[in-house]
Amino acid sequence: MTHTSGRTRVVILGGGFAGVYAALELEKAVARGEDLEIVLVNKENYFVFQPMLPEVISGTIGLLDVVSPIRRLLPRTDLHVREVESIDLEAKVVITSPGFRPHPHEIRFDHLVLALGSVTDFRGLRGLAEHAFPFKNLGDALALRNHVIRALDEASIERDDESLRRQLLTFVVAGGGFSGVEVVAELNDFVRAVARSYPALDPREIRVVLLHSGERILPEVAPSLAVFAQDILMRRGVEVRFKTALEAATGDAAILRGGESIPTKTLVSTVPSFPHPLLERLPLAKGKNGRLLASGHLQAEGRADVWTLGDCAVVPMADGSPSPPTAQHATRQAAVLAHNIVASRRGALLRTFDFKGLGKMGSLGHRSAVAELPGGIKVSGFVAWWIWRTIYLTKLPGWGRRLRVASSWTLDLFLPPELVQLKLGGSHGVTQEHFEPGQDVFREGDLGDRVYLVMSGSAEVWKAAQGAESKLARLGPGDWFGEMALLNQTTRGATVRCLEPMDALSLPKTEFTVLAANLPDLRRSFERVMEARRAPPRSSGG
Amino acid sequence: MTHTSGRTRVVILGGGFAGVYAALELEKAVARGEDLEIVLVNKENYFVFQPMLPEVISGTIGLLDVVSPIRRLLPRTDLHVREVESIDLEAKVVITSPGFRPHPHEIRFDHLVLALGSVTDFRGLRGLAEHAFPFKNLGDALALRNHVIRALDEASIERDDESLRRQLLTFVVAGGGFSGVEVVAELNDFVRAVARSYPALDPREIRVVLLHSGERILPEVAPSLAVFAQDILMRRGVEVRFKTALEAATGDAAILRGGESIPTKTLVSTVPSFPHPLLERLPLAKGKNGRLLASGHLQAEGRADVWTLGDCAVVPMADGSPSPPTAQHATRQAAVLAHNIVASRRGALLRTFDFKGLGKMGSLGHRSAVAELPGGIKVSGFVAWWIWRTIYLTKLPGWGRRLRVASSWTLDLFLPPELVQLKLGGSHGVTQEHFEPGQDVFREGDLGDRVYLVMSGSAEVWKAAQGAESKLARLGPGDWFGEMALLNQTTRGATVRCLEPMDALSLPKTEFTVLAANLPDLRRSFERVMEARRAPPRSSGG
C-alpha cells in the first residue's frame, strides 16, 4: 500500500486496551476536525475484554460476549487484521504478514504507536511450551474450556484405569496473582458444577490445585483480602499450595521444584509474560524485562514520531515509579498519547501522564470477589462481586455487548452451565512432546497411533516376559520408535520409557504415511530402521 | 470395558436425531421399569439441532445455542464420546477410537442400533476435499463463518489487487436443495449486513452465487414455493444458476462443468452425502447408495439383535417407498425401534413403522420461509417464517436451550450481527492442495512461506525477463518446488503455473524446517535438489 493522502497517518500496532483506546481517543480528535488517518494493525479482528476472559471457561457469559469487533468500536479507523512482521523506523514503514495471497504488505506511517502488550513465553521451563495451557486470549480460554470438558468425558468412560482417571480429574493452575486466582476460581466452579451431569464420576476424585510461589496469594492487594480469597477458594475445594514453584511439565504431570510430581492432563500457567518479540529488534531504549522506555509524554526515548504505552512500555507515573500493567492505566495513557500526537502536529504543549490508579478488583467466581477501592477501602464477598460486575458491565464497550452480557448473566442465574465440547482445529500434525525420566511414552499393549523421533534426551525400550520386564534397547537423538504402528499391527509390542529429559517429535499415522509415500528418502531411512529391528534381540519400539 | 451387569445392554452408534431419539425412547422404557442399560457412542458430546445450523453462519443465535449436551438430554444413558473404529457382529462388540491413553476400548452389546447418519464425501470431485467447505456439523458452520469474516477483513485491505479482492468477495454455494438454499440465504444476509462495517468495501463488488443442477431449486417442495424462494433469493442479491454442475475446485475458483470458472475463495458444497464408511465393512444387506436395508420393524435384514434407522438406513414407509432423510421421520422411527427392542426382549409383538410425514419447511433467512403443511397447504414469506421459528423453537430439546434461543432471537431484532473472526486450530501443518491447469501456485515476487511436493499432475516454472515470460522447467510427481523460501530469501524468484490437474503436498516453512533439521535423509534429498537448481538453466521454483 502506498501513502497517497496528504493527511498525517498514525499507525497503531496492537489491539488491546492500549491500542484500541489510543485509536478511540484519536477518533475523537478526527471528529473535532483533525486531519488524521488512523490505521490499527492487530492479529485478531476483535478486542478482548480481558477482565472477563476467565468467565469464558465456565460459559457464564456467551463465548463471544467477552470480545468486541474492532470495526464496530472504531468506525473511523482502518483495521488491518494481520501479524506485524517487521518495523523499519528509518523508512517509516511497517511490514505485515501475508494474507490469502503471499505478497508483501507495507504500511507507511507518520506517527507510530507501539501498543503490542505482552506475550506468553515459556522459555526456560521444560515442557511447558508443549504441555501447559497459556491463558491470554480468547483462543486460549476456549481451548482450555474444551479440554476440561474432554477430560471429564474421558474420565467418565475410563473406569478400569484409575491412574489415568485421576490424572484426567486433576486440574492444576500455576500462578497466584489476579489472573491465576480468577482462572482457578472459574475452573473449580465449572468442573464441580458440570460433574453433576456425569453420573459415572465420583466428585471426590476431582482435584483442583493452585500453585503459588509466595507465602500468600494475590500479592497485588492487602493481606486481609488475600486471606479472604484463600479461605473462599479452599472452602470451595481448591488446594492452594504456597511457596511452590513449577519446574517442568509433561503430558502426564506437573513437576514441582524439589521433584514432587502432580499427575494431571490439565496444567494452566498464567505466569510468564514477556514483551512482544518484535520489540527486541527495534533500536529503541528498553528497561529491564525488555519493555520500551517511554517519556512522561508517552514518546519512545529520542523519537518524536514513535509513541508507546500499555504493557509493552515502562511509563513513569508522577512519582517516577512505572505504571502497573492494568487496563485502567493503559486507557489513561491512551488519552494523554492521543492528545500529544495532535499537539505535536500543531506545535502545542505536550501533556504529561499523571494517574495514580483507582483500585483493584479480582473475581473469585460464584458471587464472590475482593476489591480495594480508592481511599484504601477493602471490600470482599458478595458486595465486592456486585461492584465487580457493575463496574465491568459499564466498562464493556458498546451497549449491544452490555445487553448481551447482562442477558447471559441473567440466564446463568437459573440455567445449568454449558458443557458442549467444541473440537477446534482437530489433529495437530507434527507435534513436539516433552518427557521426563520414568515417564512412559507408551506401554506394551497400547494402540499404536503415532511415530516418534528423538530430538534430545534418551529413552529405553522394555518388554514384559515371564512376569518381569527386560530392557531391549536404548534410544537417543535421531532414533525413531513406534514405527510398528505403520505395519497394520495395532498394539504396541514393547514399552518405551524416558530415561533422561527427552524432547521428541511425534507424527500421527496418517500424516506419516502420506509423507513417507511421497518422500522416497524418508521411506528408505525408515525401512532401514525396521529392517534392523526385525532381528529379535535389538527389536525396539512397538 | 467388560459386560458385567445382567441387564440387557443396548448400544446405539450415532448421536443425531435418530440415535438421540432412540435413546430418549429407551430411557422412557427404563423409567417404566425395563431393565435396560443404554450406551450411546458419538464423536461429539453434543446433539446438533440441524434445522438451525445455518443460523450459526450469521450468528442470529449464539454459537452454542444450536447444540445440546447429550448428557443433559439423556441422563440415564452412558455416553462414550469416541469415534467407532470397528464393529464385530459375531462377537457382539464395538471397538472405539482411543482417548488420552491409546489402549483399546471395547463395548459389548446385546442389541446394536446403527444410527450413523450420512457423511460428506467429495470422492470423484477434483479438489473439493481440499478446497470446498462441507456443511454438516457445528465445526463446519463455525469454520465457514470465520472464513467469511476473514475474507471480508482481507478484501478490505487488498485495495491494490482487484482480482484477489473480487475472489475474496465472491461466495459460492453448490446445491439447491433445502440445505443449500438455507445456507445461501443466511450467508447472503450475513455478508451484506456486516459489509456495512467495512467502509473500504464497495457492496457492489459482493457476489453470492447458488449453483443448482436442476431447472428449479427446492425439488423437495411444490413448484410454486420454489419459485417464491427463487424470487426472494434473487431480490436479495443471490445469483441463482440453474442446470449448472460443479466439477472441480481449487483454492482460487469453483470450476463448472463445461469449463466456466468462478473466481472465489469461498465454496460451500452441501451436495455429496454418503452413508457412514463403517457400514461398508458390515456383512449386512444394503440398498443402493450403500444404506442398510431395514425391515418395517427397523431390524437389519436377517438379524434380531441389529437395528437401524435414520439417514443410514432404507426404512420402508407404509406404501413401500423409502422414508426421506428428515428429522421427523427419524424421530418416529426411533419410537417404533425402542418399542420393538423392549417387545423382542419380552417376546411380544413388534410394531411396524408407519408415518407419512407432516410437511416440509425451509428458512430463507431474514424473516422469510417456505412451508408445505399437512393437507397440502402451502405457505410462504413472513407467515411461513413465523411458523418455522415457532415449530423449531418448541422442538428444541430442553427449556434452557429454548430460553437461550428465544433470548438470542430477541436481541437479534435490534443488535447488528456479530463479526468476530475466531481463529480455530491455527496452522494445519502438512496440507494437500489441488490445482487446475493455468492456475498459478505462486507468482514471482510473492513472499515465500511454504514448500510444495508434487504428488500427481504437472506444473511449469516461468520467469519474467525483458518484458516476456520464459519457461525454466517442468515439474512432475516427486518434484519439490518453492524451496528457496527456506533460505532467508523472502520473495519468489519465479512463477509456478499448473499444467495438468495437480495434487501437491504443501508444508509451511516452520514445519518443514523442524522436519528437515531432524531427518538427515530428508535434508540430504533436499540439498541435492537445491544443488541441481543452482546451475542457472535448470533453476526452478523459488
CB atoms within 10 A of CB B511: 19
Nearest to A496 by CA among A472, A461, A464: A461
**Sheet-wide strand order for B306-308:** B77-81, B36-42, B8-13, B111-114, B306-308
Average pLDDT for A87-94: 96
Nearest to A407 among B167, B400, B407 (CB): B407
Average pLDDT of the residues of chain B: 87
Average pLDDT for B19-37: 96
| Torsion sign (Cα): B523, B527, B530, B532 | negative
Restricting to A residues 193-222, those with a Cβ less than 8 Å away from any Cβ of B are 197-200
Q: Compute φ and ψ for A103, nearest 5 degrees.
A: -100, 155
Helix (H, G, I), strand (E, B) or coil at A451: strand
DSSP string spanning B114-130? E---EEE--TTSBTHHH
pLDDT at position A534: 62
Residue B410: which pLDDT band, with cuts at 50, 70 and 90?
A: confident
Element (H, E) at B20: helix B17-31
Has residue A158 got a pLDDT over 60? Answer: yes
Least reliable range by pLDDT among A278-287, B6-15, B93-102, B217-226: B93-102
Residues of B in contact with A106 (CB under 8 A): none
| Block residue for cell numbers 512482544 | A276
Residue A392: which pLDDT band, with cuts at 50, 70 and 90?
A: confident
CB atoms within 10 A of CB A328: 16
Answer yes or no: do B404 and A411 touch at CB < 8 A: yes
- B483 or A3, greater pLDDT: B483
Element (H, E) at B66: none
Q: Go through chain A and tell me how many residues it has.
A: 542
- B320 neighbors B296 (Cβ within 8 angstroms): no
Answer yes or no: do A102 and B67 touch at CB < 8 A: no
The end-to-end CA distance of chain A, in Å, is: 55
Residue B349: which pLDDT band, with cuts at 50, 70 and 90?
A: very high
Q: How far is CA A484 from CA A102, A261, A492, B97, in A?
A: 40, 31, 8, 18
Residues of A in contact with B167 (CB under 8 A): 100
Average pLDDT for B15-26: 96
CA count, 13 A, side-chain hemisphere, B424: 21
pLDDT at position A490: 67
Alpha helices by DSSP H, listed for B195-282, are 223-235
Q: What is the pLDDT of residues B265-281, one digit of tens each?
A: 999 998 767 888 899 99
Q: What is the pLDDT of residues B322-336, one digit of tens each?
A: 998 889 999 999 999
Has residue B529 got a pLDDT over 90? Answer: no
What single letter denotes the amino acid at residue A493?
G
Average pLDDT for A451-469: 89
Restricting to A residues 416-435, those with a Cβ less than 8 Å away from any Cβ of B are 416, 418-426, 428-430, 432
Cell digits of residue B198: 467495512
CA count, 13 A, side-chain hemisphere, A321: 8
Residue B198: which pLDDT band, with cuts at 50, 70 and 90?
A: very high
Nearest to A400 among B160, B415, B424 (CB): B415
Least reliable range by pLDDT among A118-132, A255-269, B378-392, B478-492: B478-492
Residue B282: which pLDDT band, with cuts at 50, 70 and 90?
A: very high
Distance, in Å, from the CA atom of B113 to the CA atom of B110, rounded to the nearest integer, reads 10
Has residue B260 got a pLDDT over 70? Answer: yes
> Which of A319-333, A470-484, B117-131, B358-372 holds the top average pLDDT?
A319-333
Q: What is the pLDDT of residues A258-291, one digit of tens each?
A: 989 999 999 999 876 788 889 999 999 999 889 9
Residues of A in contact with B142 (CB under 8 A): 422
Answer yes or no: do B79 and A524 touch at CB < 8 A: no
| Block residue for cell numbers 446438533 | B48
Our CA dihedral for A212, A213, A214, A215, rounded to 10 degrees, sits at: 70
Residues of A in contact with B161 (CB under 8 A): 101, 103
pLDDT at position A100: 81
Average pLDDT for B151-175: 93
Q: How far is CA A523 from CA A515, A527, B49, in A?
A: 8, 6, 45
**Closest chain B residue to A97 measured between Cα atoms?**
B447
Element (H, E) at B112: strand B111-114
Has residue A537 got a pLDDT over 70? Answer: no
- B463 neighbors B493 (Cβ within 8 angstroms): yes
Q: Compute φ and ψ for A384, nearest 5 degrees.
A: -65, -40
Distance, in Å, from the CA atom of B393 to the CA atom of B402, rounded to the nearest integer, reads 6
Q: What is the pLDDT of residues B295-327, one digit of tens each?
A: 999 999 999 999 999 999 999 998 889 998 889
Has residue B254 got a pLDDT over 80? Answer: yes
The residues with which A268 forms a beta bridge, in sequence order, are A133, A173
- B206 neighbors B237 (Cβ within 8 angstroms): yes
Nearest to A448 by CA among A507, A480, A498, A491: A491
Nearest to A80 among B150, B157, B446 (CB): B157
Residue A2: which pLDDT band, with cuts at 50, 70 and 90?
A: very low
Q: What is the pLDDT of residues A405-437, one digit of tens each?
A: 787 777 776 667 767 776 665 445 677 889 999
Restricting to A residues 439-458, those with a Cβ less than 8 Å away from any Cβ of B are 442-443, 445-449, 453, 455
pLDDT at position A3: 45
Residue B491 in contact with partner chain A when CB distance is under 8 A: yes
**Burial tier of A355 (Cβ tally within 10 Å: 0-12, 13-18, 19+):** middle
Alpha helices by DSSP H, listed for A396-519, are 399-414, 509-518
The residues with which B126 forms a beta bridge, in sequence order, are B248
Least reliable range by pLDDT among A201-210, B42-51, B188-197, B354-363: B354-363
Q: What is the pLDDT of residues B504-518, one digit of tens each?
A: 988 877 777 777 777
Residue A486: which pLDDT band, with cuts at 50, 70 and 90?
A: low
Nearest to B29 by CA among B336, B332, B307, B329: B336
pLDDT at position B414: 66
Residues of B in contact with A40 (CB under 8 A): none
What is the share, in percent, of chain A residues with pLDDT greater than 70? Answer: 92
**Sheet-wide strand order for B105-108:** B84-88, B93-96, B105-108
pLDDT at position A176: 93
Average pLDDT of the residues of chain A: 87
pLDDT at position A538: 42
Residue B537: which pLDDT band, with cuts at 50, 70 and 90?
A: very low
- A82 or B524, greater pLDDT: A82
The residues with which B112 forms a beta bridge, in sequence order, are B11, B306
pLDDT at position A336: 97
- B498 neighbors B438 (Cβ within 8 angstroms): yes
Determine the distance in angstroms separating the CA of B478 from the nearest CA of chain A, rounded to an integer: 7
- B95 neighbors B230 (Cβ within 8 angstroms): no
pLDDT at position A542: 44
pLDDT at position B1: 43
Alpha helices by DSSP H, listed for B396-508, are 399-412
Distance, in Å, from the CA atom of B200 to the CA atom of B198, rounded to the nearest integer, reads 5
- B416 or B37, greater pLDDT: B37
Residue A138 in contact with partner chain B when CB distance is under 8 A: yes
Cell digits of residue A125: 521451563
What is the share, in percent, of chain A residues with pLDDT greater than 90? Answer: 52
Cell digits of residue A205: 476424585
Element (H, E) at A378: strand A377-381
Which one of B27, B30, B45 would you mutate to disrupt binding with A, by most A Cβ within 10 Å of its Cβ? B45
Has residue B426 got a pLDDT over 60? Answer: no
Distance, in Å, from the CA atom of B186 to the CA atom of B124, rounded to the nearest integer, reads 28
pLDDT at position B485: 62
Element (H, E) at B389: helix B382-395
Alpha helices by DSSP H, listed for B101-211, are 128-131, 138-155, 162-168, 178-194
Least reliable range by pLDDT among A231-235, B220-224, B362-366, B529-533: B529-533
pLDDT at position B542: 44
Residues of B in contact with A504 (CB under 8 A): none
- A210 neighbors A240 (Cβ within 8 angstroms): yes
- A404 or A307, greater pLDDT: A307
Q: What is the pLDDT of residues B431-446, one digit of tens each?
A: 788 999 999 998 888 8
Residues of B in contact with A167 (CB under 8 A): 100
pLDDT at position A510: 74
ipTM of this model?
Answer: 0.84
pLDDT at position B318: 85
Residue A318 in contact with partner chain B when CB distance is under 8 A: no
Average pLDDT for B486-502: 81
Average pLDDT for A99-113: 88
Answer yes or no: do B411 and A407 touch at CB < 8 A: yes
Three-state helix/strand/coil letters over A187-220: HHHHHHHHHHHCCCCCHHHCEEEEECCCCCCCCC
Q: Go through chain B and tell me how many residues it has.
A: 542
Determine the distance in angstroms separating the CA of A406 from the nearest CA of chain B, rounded to an integer: 11
Residue B486: which pLDDT band, with cuts at 50, 70 and 90?
A: low
Residues of A in contact with B403 (CB under 8 A): 411, 415
Average pLDDT for A9-32: 96
pLDDT at position B10: 98
Alpha helices by DSSP H, listed for A257-349, are 277-280, 327-346
Which one of B100, B167, B479 would you mutate to disrupt binding with A, by most A Cβ within 10 Å of its Cβ? B100
pLDDT at position A231: 94
